[in-house]
Amino acid sequence: MVSMPGSIAFDEFGRPFIILRDQEKQKRLTGNDAIKSHIMAGRQIASTIRTSLGPKGLDKMLVSGDGEVTVTNDGATILKMMEVDHEIGKLMVQLSQSQDDEIGDGTTGVVVLAGALLEQAESLLDRGIHPIRIADGFELAAQCAVKHLESIAEPFPVTKDNTEQLVKVAMTTLGSKIINKCHRQMAEIAVNAVLSVADLEKKDVNFELIKIEGKVGGRMEDTALVKGVVIDKSMSHPQMPKTLKDVKLAILTCPFEPPKPKTTHKLDVTSAEDYKALRLYEQEKFTQMVEQVKAAGATLAICQWGFDDEANHLLLQQNLPAVRWVGGPEIELIAIATGGRIVPRFEELSADKLGIAGLVREISFGTSKEKMLVIEECKNTKAVTILIRGGNQMVIAEAKRSLHDALCVVRSLIKDSRIVYGGGAAEISCAVAVAREADQLSTLEQYAFRSFSVALESVPLALAENSGLAPIETLTELKSRQLSEKSNTLGVDCMLTGNSDMKEHNVVESLHSKKQQIILATQLVKMILKIDDIRSQGDF
């Protein structure tokens, strides 16, 4: 309920009452009218994103206020960048974001399912069923669907020795993305990156150790996994060596510059002698700082701040390569990877605080000779970087989003190593199970169960529609085959190969992801069905 600003007054008996301002301008919807208004807003969002579902789904082009263009079919990104005014529309955006935060994949499917549930809820309301009974029925049906998913899930081997199965799941995730031109390569990069930082005993993956860096130029096939850290910087002086071996890094957050007078003091330079004395003092301080770094045994200085040409020249003279203007997150990642400590003052620098790396090299790209620094063979081998190449920034941004989805799915499998089959196979199987359960019920909730079953079928319907197939005929055939063959692996043949067995296509999804989609979509619809009063200024 959206409350408007008002003021409290008191009657002659001291009882408070609220006077609402601009009452004649307000529009108020209550009861089923309010719920239908919500449902319409939610369905509009779902219908917008429905065409992006599946490997043949269409991309969306989004143009920001300042003219920046984004082309993507990632549900969470599309909804985040859409300008949604309706409050229920904003809840749908948050639903997609919740799925993205929790799982990282299935952001389009969860919104399509929520939209289908809202559509079914509307028809139940028209039949005179109370919204609370519909919401409760949907929740019970969701529990039934999740229970069925658990029963049809298959165990999935996750080991560092045999990565083939994980690669197949990552390929399923990337099948609908722009980077499927180098499908297997990207899937292998995602799997190797996650396994490099994963703790399989604790079933934990630290995403902080995986950095995704993009560089315009080259082909997408040039994308590589670097066992170390890549930073978009170069050596501070062009004459410094481009390759260093057995490096000891001083990681500094203090600048190479002499101490400045505080703001309450001032320094007057009134003659040439004063200026020379100041210059000598600065040079002496620079020399002292460089000597302190060298005395600690450092062979490379990584500095968060910049330094002027004089300090830079002095570093070159003293044979101390340096990198300046390295950002905070990169500094932290370098410290984790090399086992070094971040040093805030030169006086605190010592040999035990230095990071260790086997190789530091500068690489350049294309005709523009843009440079990046690669820190490899680190003390902590778990830190990795995925370096994405592409023709322009838009392609690289979409590749980053796609790889993030693949990384998240592999992480989900390490946490819960059970899978179900994709292509709508799991949804059809759940729809059949929920419809079967509805026949056993004698209460009013049986109508909600049947509607939930129909809503689950919206995912295979959308997949068939987006693939150019006849949706109803495809769904009917798959349902009858699943029942007659007692198979849970038959789904929509999106690639038009003539084979609907998702097991043979290796189209598999994380059980955790599929369960989360059903649970989140049901929770949102239940919440919407319980809002029966809207007050708004102007159009809502």
CA torsion sign for 474, 476, 477, 482 is positive
- Of 48, 405, 474, 493, the catalytic one is 405
The residue annotated as part of the active site, out of 72, 107, 385, 489, is 107
CA 66 to chain centre: 23
Separation of CA 445 from chain center: 37
CA 485, CA 478: separation in Å to the nearest integer? 10
DSSP three-state, residue 9: strand
Q: Which of 261, 312, 305, 308 is CA-nearest to residue 290?
A: 312
For the question of residue 77 being annotated catalytic, the response is no
d(CA 213, CA 193): 13
SS (HEC) of 400-444:
HHHHHHHHHHHHHHHHCCEEEECCCHHHHHHHHHHHHHHCCCCCC
- d(CA 173, CA 54) in angstroms, rounded, equals 10
Let me know if 533 is a catalytic residue: no
Q: Which two tokens stand for residue 361?
A: 């090299």
Q: What span, in angstroms and rounded, lies between the C-alpha atoms of 401 and 38?
A: 30
Based on the residue annotation, tell me whether 74 is a catalytic residue of this protein: yes
Whole-Å CA distances, 32 to 24, 124, 290, 455, 534: 22, 11, 75, 21, 11
Residue of 48, 70, 72, 74 marked active site: 74
How far is 151 from 399, CA to CA, in rounded Å? Answer: 35
Tell me what percent of the chain is helix, strand and coil, each rounded to the nearest 5: 50, 20, 30
Other beta carbons within 10 angstroms of residue 377's beta carbon come to 16
Say which residue the tokens 């059903």 belong to: 518
User: Which phi and psi angles does 185 have, rounded to 5°?
Assistant: -60, -45
> What are the structure tokens assigned to 527, written together?
């919440």
For every residue of 126-170, DSSP letters joined together read HTT--HHHHHHHHHHHHHHHHHHHHHH-EE----SS--HHHHHHH
Given 77, 108, 163, 338, which residue is catalytic?
108
Active site residues: 74, 107-108, 405
